[in-house]
């Protein structure tokens, strides 16, 4: 790293610190509403647990032990119960007597993934958050490649676990009896069984490893350190009106960066978190009305389903103060529809599994311009570089590179390269910075195609089709073409109405022709009943009908 690069990094850190501490107090993360003893407990808790999930659970217990921390499919837990149960699981893990605790978790949202995340910090471990869409081959490969020795797994995925040798298996969410395996809820309900096991006073905080959404082969394990000072918080709290004690809805998947990050901030602000193992739009709207929820953390595919509920407007959602979306791109039509339904309260967070936060668009910015990804987040250094690693002028598109305090340190497979330039990591997207410093994302580097010498971004076709009457869902990508080398192909799900029934291949092409240049007109139009999506809502291209 050059001297100039270090100076720039120091400047970014200093600016982030200047906004980080005030943001913590505004949000209530370090407030003293638990009284003098809670304030006195801040330094030792930070020293022992850093900014891990364990720290947030421990501090919530000190400050607001009787507040409801979690409402999930198994009931509700106060912060005290969440802390005690997490520590009981941690003692169970320590009692296994392993030289190094390498904990895998394959679980949907709820206490089945939250307990292990907190126990990781109490026991001192490396934790691997596994994608629930992993195949038996991928699951076996992940366990072997990463030397996982304890696996907490929901029982709906047990049939994918072909080999249990040398592996301590704990059933997370149990839908039936399991006589041959320990069950998570039974472990935490019997604290006396490990009462004599001591937890480390200063746990060894191994990294947290999040698995990318691999479609074949062993998914990439993204290694991220547990932060001592998560400066990226300032970038979110500066743009989103998050405050202490809010009841929130979290249906972003916790096993992914977006859901994991929002879980930790929610616990840090001592929120009441409402979440469920499976997304159900009617249940989400009912939760908002029943619990008077003030915030929702979601992804575009879930927002779209919320807007499509017949009679969805009959639910009282007036308590919502903001909605935050991330995970994949919002379209202008979806932004407009969300604002029409819920008001101008939609925010957008842009980032990736490898580098976490890149930019945040506030509700005001998104309402004014639904195509914007927001300003570069405080605590993040971001540049747009050309193919040779040179910074491009404002308004010129290029590859997005960035870094912050939670950027990956590497992959679990050291053979996987990290694309770096000037100390920054390539995020994998193309974009540009406009004259106002706002980031504009064009799409994935690998997705861009060249049609007759013109750059075409499939994402732009997605956005246009999302606004077309009769289109319930759409996906565009590039396919080989003997004349122009590549062309756009689209897959369309018809809406269940007269406009959907009237759609034809020609009407799809005419709509794109009226809104984009000729080289964006799809060569192939496929009508299908449903787009194949993974657990986070992203389309899996290899499963599309050819």
Residue 111 pLDDT exceeds 80 = yes
Give the lowest-confidence range in 13-22, 339-348, 461-470: 13-22
Q: What is the pLDDT of residues 18-32, one digit of tens each?
A: 555 555 555 555 554
pTM (two decimals): 0.86
Q: In terms of pLDDT, which residue wins out, 441 or 42?
A: 441
pLDDT (tens digit per residue) in 135-170 = 898 899 999 999 999 999 999 999 999 888 889 999
Provide the 3-class DSSP secondary structure of residue 10: helix
Residue 456 region by backbone torsions, left for phi larger than 0, else alpha for psi between -120 and 50, else beta? beta
Q: Write down the pLDDT at residue 5.
A: 46
Arithmetic mean of pLDDT, 129-138: 90
Give tens-digit pLDDT for 499-526. Answer: 999 999 999 999 999 999 888 999 999 9
Beta bridge mates, 421: 424
236-258 pLDDT, tens digit per residue, is 888 999 999 999 999 999 999 89
Q: What is the mean pLDDT of residues 45-61?
A: 87
Give the whole-angstrom CA distance, residue 434 versus residue 119.
44
Instruction: Give 62-109 pLDDT, tens digit per residue.
Output: 999 999 999 999 999 999 999 999 999 999 999 999 999 999 999 999
Mean pLDDT of 525-542: 86
pLDDT band at 235, cuts 50/70/90?
A: confident
With bands split at pLDDT 50, 70 and 90, how would you rate the model's confidence at 329?
Answer: confident
CA 310 – CA 314 distance, rounded (Å): 9
Model confidence at 51, pLDDT cuts 50, 70, 90, reads confident
442 has pLDDT over 50: yes
Q: CB 17: neighbour CB atoms within 10 A?
A: 14
Cα–Cα distance measured from residue 354 to residue 258, given in angstroms and rounded to the nearest whole number: 11
Domains and CATH numbers, the chain: 449-543 (3.30.300.30)
């Amino acid at each position: 790293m050059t001297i100039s690069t270090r100076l720039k990094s120091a400047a970014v850190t200093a600016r982030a610190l200047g906004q980080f501490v005030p943001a913590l107090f505004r949000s209530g993360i370090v407030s003293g509403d638990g009284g003098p003893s809670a304030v006195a407990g801040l330094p030792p808790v930070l020293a022992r647990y850093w900014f891990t999930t364990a720290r947030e659970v421990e501090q919530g217990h000190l400050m607001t032990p009787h507040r409801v921390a979690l409402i999930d499919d198994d009931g509700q837990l106060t912060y005290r119960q969440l802390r005690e149960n997490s520590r009981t699981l941690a003692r169970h893990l320590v009692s296994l007597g392993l030289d190094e605790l390498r904990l895998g978790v394959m679980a949907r949202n709820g206490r089945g993934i939250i307990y292990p995340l907190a126990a990781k910090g109490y026991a001192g471990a490396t934790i691997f958050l596994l994608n629930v869409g992993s195949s038996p081959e991928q699951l076996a490969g992940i366990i072997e490649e990463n030397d996982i020795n304890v696996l907490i797994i929901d029982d709906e995925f047990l049939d994918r676990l072909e080999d249990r040798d040398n592996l301590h298996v704990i059933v997370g969410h149990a839908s039936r009896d399991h006589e041959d395996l320990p069950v998570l809820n039974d472990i935490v309900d019997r604290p006396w069984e490990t009462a004599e096991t001591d937890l480390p006073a200063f746990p060894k905080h191994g990294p947290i490893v999040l698995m990318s959404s691999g479609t074949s082969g062993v998914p990439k394990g993204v290694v991220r350190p547990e932060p001592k000072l998560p400066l990226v918080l300032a970038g979110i709290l500066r743009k989103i009106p998050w405050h202490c004690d809010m009841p929130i809805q979290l249906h972003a998947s916790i096993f992914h960066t977006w859901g994991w990050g929002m879980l930790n901030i929610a616990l840090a602000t001592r929120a009441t978190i409402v979440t469920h193992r499976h997304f159900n739009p009617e249940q989400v709207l009912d939760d908002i009305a029943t619990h008077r929820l003030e915030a929702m953390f979601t992804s575009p595919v879930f927002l779209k389903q919320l807007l499509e509920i017949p009679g969805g407007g009959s639910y009282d959602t007036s308590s919502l103060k903001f909605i935050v979306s991330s995970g994949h791109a919002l379209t202008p039509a979806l932004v407009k529809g969300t604002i029409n339904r819920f008001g101008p309260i939609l925010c957008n967070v842009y980032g990736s599994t490898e580098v976490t936060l890149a930019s945040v668009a506030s509700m005001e910015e998104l309402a004014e311009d639904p195509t914007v990804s927001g300003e570069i987040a405080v605590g993040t250094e971001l540049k747009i570089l050309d193919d040779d690693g040179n910074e491009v002028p404002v308004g010129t598109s290029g590859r997005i590179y960035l870094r912050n305090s939670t950027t990956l340190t590497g992959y679990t497979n050291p053979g996987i390269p990290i694309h770096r330039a000037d100390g920054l990591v390539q995020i994998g997207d193309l974009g540009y910075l406009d004259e106002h410093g706002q980031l504009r994302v064009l799409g994935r580097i690998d997705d861009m195609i060249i049609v007759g010498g013109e750059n075409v971004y499939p994402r732009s076709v997605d956005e246009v089709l999302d606004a077309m009457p009769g289109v319930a869902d759409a996906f565009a990508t590039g396919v080989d073409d003997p004349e122009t080398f590549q062309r756009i192909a689209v897959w369309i799900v018809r809406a269940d109405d007269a406009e959907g029934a009237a759609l034809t291949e020609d009407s799809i092409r005419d709509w794109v022709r009226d809104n984009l240049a000729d080289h964006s007109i799809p060569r192939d139009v496929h009508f299908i009943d449903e787009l194949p999506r993974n657990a986070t809502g992203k389309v899996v291209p290899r499963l599309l009908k050819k």
